Amino acid sequence: MHEVRYHGEIRFTRYLDKDGTPLGELPDWAHQAQPWVDYYQQMVLARQLDTKAISLQRTGQLGTYASLLGAEAIDVVCARLMQAEDVLVPYYRNHAMQMIRGVPIDQILLYWGGDERGSAAAEMGKDLPNAVPIATQCLHACGVATALKYRGQAQAVLTMIGDGGTSKGDFMEALNVAGAWQLPVVFIINNNQWAISVPRSKQCIAPTLAQKALGAGIRGEQVDGNDALALHEVVGQALERARAGKGPTLIEALSYRLSDHTTADDATRYRPSEELKDAWQREPVARLRNWLHRCSWWDEERENAWQAEAKRMIDTAVEQYLAAEPQPVDDLYDHLYAECPPALAEQREQARHKQARQQGGQDHE
Amino acid sequence: MSDTAITLLEAVNLALARALEEDADVLLLGEDIGTNGGVFRATAGLQERFGERRVIDTPLAETMIAGLSVGMATQGLRPVAEIQFMGFIFPAFEHLVAHAARMRHRTRSRLTCPLVLRAPFGGGIHAPEHHSESTEALLAHIPGLKVVVPSSPARAYGLLLGAIRSDDPVVFLEPKRIYRATKTLVEDDGRALPLDTCFTLREGHDVTLVSWGAMVSETLSAADRLADAGISCEVIDVATLNPIDHATLLASVAKTGRCVIIHEAPRHGGLGAEIAASLAEQAAGELKAPPKRVTGHDTIMPYYRNELLYLPDTDDIVAAVHELMEYAG
């Protein structure tokens, strides 16, 4: 005989349509100007940072850079909802989160400019550096959460991954252990529809990525990642549950990668231009601005003033970044082990001479 | 405990207990390490004594064990994770190589990764496929990762304490062939052994024999036999395979002028090559003969019926030394 042992469902949350028009009566918490104006301002700042980073790369002043275009709402809302003592375990597209958590913008640029000191900023606290290998950050987040839980700290860990990363074992192993141990971790999938050139439809047959949570026995839901209101509610609840010891959540935020994968990529080779044009109709920054205008919490004058202020902040940071002193050559050797072993100390000495030679010093042979 | 002779395996257990007792940041995790006390019994009784919060049975996923340990260590915990056999360490590699080894370097010491990954390794116990390999060279090649191998109960105790207290990530490889081979007195005094030095187990003046892990036993037996033949061997246990204490090896070879390196891992790209090359670069003038290697062959580790054919033995070492002594240049 057969019986049904399990029925799963995935909730989807959206409050604003693509033009910023409410889809119905909004909850009480949406009836005042904050945090929405703040979210909007940070989203503008994030976009300006992104635009500037790409232009720095194009002019040879920054290395290969992963654009965050289209992820502004996800990054800003998640970062704003995190508390200082929560821990961020980022992937390589979360620099807006780092900025909002207090990392100086020039330090963020330093990382993308090929300098390890960009992950050394004291403002990063116990946050992990960017994970470049796919999905590995999900397991690190579980380890951080294990540490928080072991020490009885009522804080949460938030980690993010792309849609492509959900195909990897690390992601599934992380969901599994987070569920088994009821860890205080929130997994965010920035489902921007593309993993470099491979579309979401080729990653997985499941209609939602959020339902991968069900196999691990944890809560999973989907949210419009271009809708700051929906993100605010869903991510906020997940973080609170985590801090309250009520276990992990997987949130699939639906967005669109409006950029190339990185500055080393050219999406016109594989992505239909119609699809991109359509995605720009749903993008997060204009959507929130339209709603703020509708609520009379924002206007043209404030827009112009904030765009100018954001530009000033980014320009100042770029100046600081470009003026950064070169990294001492010893740094390459002195941060590998707690103490530099003798064989490495010899190589450090060689590097000092090589640096002097490359800089045209007297050591030239 | 200090007046009882114990095995290498019991010394591992003793060091783990000591570390758990002295530091609340030390946690053990792995498959079957809790209620079962480990498949080799290395963690026997520890969950009973220190509780499920500190001696944790994990889901069966090696990638997860390594990744979780990295995350824990960045927050200042000292996880000691067990990979049940070295043959199953490969899912953990990405986290060891791409994260554990680099965490301090890429954050300029803002974060560190003081984890220990323990794994039994090597052949000689008639184990199934994938349970007998020695792939330490793969690990020792990684900058930032310390690789430590004990070869006696006392060194297992002291080096494991050193590994756990180290602020660097350490892979601690336990030679399971000699897990229960001998019993010696080990004082539970909480004293760690340093991870930056080789151990000279026997002094001699004709030839330096360099080895680690289970091969140290074969090497000591060879030295005994060679002594009977009038050849005086210096025997060095490398113990820490990365970073290697080249100074001790160089000083010994400067004295003896001859060197045989013995390891059970395959020859090609093995650590014997690294040691021989260093000696050739830095002690060429002192060498009376080229450095020689006695190693496993460059084949797949055979199933257990042929494992003794594969593993270097005392005869192989004795023969190599005679060859070196007769070398005429």
- The SS3 assignment for A295 reads coil
**Closest residue by Cα to residue B275 from B200, B204, B319, B210:** B210
d(C-alpha B202, C-alpha A99), whole Å: 59
Domain A11-322 class?
alpha beta
Is B107's CB within 8 Å of A177's CB? Answer: no
Chain A residue with Cα closest to B100:
A140
Closest-CA residue of chain A to B144: A336
Q: Which residues in A have their CB inside 8 Å of a CB on B? A: 87, 89, 116-117, 119-122, 124, 126, 128-129, 131-133, 136, 138-148, 150, 169-170, 173-174, 176-177, 180, 331, 335-339, 341-344
Same domain? For B151 and B245 the reply is no
Residue B81 lies in a domain: yes
What per-residue confidence (pLDDT) applies to B4? 83
- What digits encode the pLDDT tens for the residues B164-191? 999 999 999 999 999 999 999 999 999 9
Do B175 and B39 lie in a common domain?
yes
Say which DSSP state A226 is in: T
Task: Identify whether B108 is part of a domain.
Answer: yes
Region A290-301 average pLDDT: 98
Closest CA to B171 of B121, B218, B221, B117: B117
Percent of chain A's residues with pLDDT above 90: 98
Same domain, B181 and B204: no
For residue A364, what pLDDT band results from cuts at 50, 70 and 90?
very low
Contact residues, chain A, for B76 at CB < 8 Å: 147
- Residue A100 scores a pLDDT above 60: yes
Q: Are residues B135 and B20 in the same domain?
A: yes
Share of chain B above pLDDT 90, in %: 98
Q: Do A143 and B76 touch (CB under 8 A)?
A: no
Which tokens go with A222?
């989907």
Average pLDDT over residues A168-190: 98
Give the Cβ contact number of residue A134 at 10 Å: 20
> Looking at the domain assignment, is residue B156 inside a domain?
yes
Output the six-digit token pair for B222: 């060879």
Residue B295 lies in a domain: yes
Distance from C-alpha of B116 to C-alpha of B168, rounded to nearest angstrom: 9
Q: Round the CA-based radius of gyration of chain B to a whole number and report it.
A: 20
On the CB side of A18, CA atoms within 13 Å amount to 9
Identify the burial level of A108 via C-beta atoms within 10 angstroms of its C-beta, where 0-12 means exposed, 13-18 middle and 19 or more buried: buried
- The answer to whether residue B194 sits within a structural domain is no
B209 and B99 share one domain: no
Q: Which domain holds residue B263?
A: 199-325
pLDDT in tens, A244-264: 999 999 999 999 999 999 999
Domain shared by B53 and B94, yes or no: yes
Nearest to B80 by CA among B129, B16, B37, B35: B16
Q: What is the residue whose two structure tokens read 């953990």? A: B92
In the beta sheet, which residues pair with residue B120?
A: B174
What is the spatial distance between Cα A71 and Cα A47, in angstroms, rounded to a whole number?
Answer: 9
State the Cα angle at B313 between B307 and B315, rounded to 5°.
135
- Do B134 and B99 lie in one domain? The reply is yes
pLDDT in tens, A225-241: 999 999 999 999 999 99
pLDDT in tens, A76-90: 999 999 999 999 999
- What local confidence, expressed as pLDDT, does residue A361 receive? 60
How confident is residue A360, by pLDDT bands cut at 50, 70 and 90?
A: confident
Which domain CATH number covers B206?
A: 3.40.50.920
Q: Which residues of chain B have pLDDT under 50?
A: 1
User: Chain A contacts of B95, Cβ < 8 Å?
Assistant: 136, 139
pLDDT for B3 equals: 64
Judge contact between B249 and B279, C-beta under 8 A. Answer: yes
Which of B139, B162, B185 represents a domain boundary (last residue)? B185
ipTM comes to 0.96
| Residue B235 and residue B226 in contact, taking contact as beta carbons nearer than 8 Å | no
Write down the mean pLDDT value for chain A: 97
Which chain B residues have a beta carbon less than 8 Å from that of A343? 243-244, 246
- pLDDT at residue A359, rounded to an integer: 86
The CATH code of the domain that includes B16 is 3.40.50.970
**Quick one: B80 and B229 in the same domain?**
no
Give the per-residue pLDDT at A365.
45
State percent of chain A over pLDDT 70: 99
- Catalytically active residues of B are 131
The Cα A219–Cα A264 span in angstroms is 36
Q: Are residues B153 and B76 in the same domain?
A: yes
At B101-140, the pLDDT tens digits run 999 999 999 999 999 999 999 999 999 999 999 999 999 9
B173 in the same domain as B204: no
**Segment (H or E) for A230:** helix A228-243
Q: Is B58 on the interface with A (CB under 8 A)?
A: yes
Same domain for B20 and B92, yes or no, is: yes
Residue B104 forms part of a structural domain: yes
pLDDT at A363: 47
Decide if B193 is inside a domain: no
Sequence-separated contacts (24+) of A332-340 with Cβ below 8 Å: A335/A116, A335/B104, A335/B105, A335/B108, A335/B109, A336/B104, A336/B105, A336/B143, A336/B144, A337/B104, A337/B144, A337/B146, A337/B168, A337/B243, A338/B104, A338/B112, A338/B166, A338/B167, A338/B168, A339/B196
Is pLDDT at A134 greater than 80 in this prediction?
yes
Q: Say if residue B149 is in the same domain as residue B213.
A: no
A266-287: average pLDDT = 97
Given B131, B152, B185, the domain boundary residue is B185
**Domain map (residue ranges) of chain A:** 11-322, 328-365
Give the whole-angstrom CA distance, residue A253 versus residue A213.
Answer: 14
Structural domain count of chain B: 2
Alpha carbon distances (Å) from B329 to A339, B153, B325: 41, 40, 11
pLDDT tens digits, one per residue of B54-76: 999 999 999 999 999 999 999 99
Residue that finishes a domain, picked among B156, B185, B214: B185
B150 within a domain of the structure (yes/no): yes
